[in-house]
Amino acid sequence: MHFIIMEKELKNVVIAGAGAIGTALAQAMAVDSRLNIQLLSIEENVIETINSEGVNSKYFPAFKLNPGIRATSDKNILQTAHIVFLALPSVAVIGFIEENIDQFSSSVILVNLAKGFSPTHTTIAEQMISSFPFASATMKGPTFARELINGSPTAFTVGSNSERVYHKIELLFKNTVIYLDFTKDVKGVELLSILKNIYAIAIGIVDAHFNSANLRFLVLTKAFYEMRSILIEYGGRKPSMFKYCGFGDFGLTALNDLSRNRTLGLLIGKGFFTDTLSEKVLLEGRVAVNIFCEEILKDNSDQYPIMSEMYKVFNQSYDVTGFVNRILSKD
């Protein structure tokens, strides 16, 4: 029965975005030779080297991809896709669906991998569910693309209103290195994927000033508590904190130097808060903090001292040397 579902419903896989996570996900799924996996990209050089050399020259230039993975810029492939993974920048996901809405079949499953708010400042998956007639899900977890592409066991939480959608996705990753858990708390999965990046920056700032395990885990505990409180305040569910998208993703992002957000925090804490920092990560952090403080928490933002201080870091002339004292003095 499982084999029939795979053959009829989830054979044609399109990954929109041939960046690091899109390519790594394709490599993980390519162990199943029955799948037709295509990377949809606007980067012509990336497309050319994947198809001619079996290498993503921009993101993994030294890694040989499974020969079953192909790349294209032709959006017509969406017409026959059974499932589309959206490995795009957060600001581009909703626009991509709108531009290609006539290309998707009525039975397609759209899976959001992006971490950020939609242009309307709702979560991306929520807007996908409310605005489009397709089955939708979100997939987030403690995942570095560099490790996934090298075959490291990797976990994601699938958030969807439909258990049936989850079981289809679960079947897709059977016999791969990807492990899944599930929740119907779509909003919670999306919120945690945004919050963990903000608080990872804060942990980086702390570690830039003090090489102290005691202090690191003091602040880590406070950050985890704030994340939980904001999650509940905005309508997420408490159990999501202990899914892969919660504790797992936060721990990975806050404590590992492969994390761009932790690294941004370290640079800010060392006084390198300049235009030379990663513009994309910096912008995403500022936008997310501003939405939380100005629109979601509003007058209650002072109840969340770390988030409140991060707002000042991104929006004011700020003496970062006092960051730790300020977040600890507000207990």
Q: For residue 97, what pLDDT is reported? A: 98
Residue 66 DSSP class:
P
The CATH 1.10.1040.10 domain(s) of the chain lie at 188-328
Beta strands in 68-173 (DSSP E): 69-72, 83-86, 109-112, 135-140, 154-159
Question: Would you identify the CATH topology of the domain 188-328?
Answer: N-(1-d-carboxylethyl)-l-norvaline Dehydrogenase; domain 2 (1.10.1040)
Architecture in CATH of 2-184 = 3-Layer(aba) Sandwich (3.40)
One digit per residue, pLDDT tens: the chain, 331 residues? 344 444 446 799 999 999 999 999 999 999 999 999 999 999 999 999 999 999 999 999 999 999 999 999 999 999 999 999 999 999 999 999 999 999 999 999 999 999 999 988 899 999 999 999 999 999 999 999 999 999 999 999 999 999 999 999 999 999 899 999 999 999 999 999 999 999 999 999 999 999 899 999 999 999 999 999 999 988 999 999 999 999 999 999 999 999 999 999 998 998 876 555 566 677 788 889 999 998 888 877 778 999 999 999 999 888 888 999 999 986 6
Domain with CATH 3.40.50.720 in the chain: 2-184
Q: How far apart are CA 307 and CA 232, in angstroms?
A: 15
- Enumerate the β-bridge partners of residue 159: 138, 183
Residues with a known catalytic role: 196
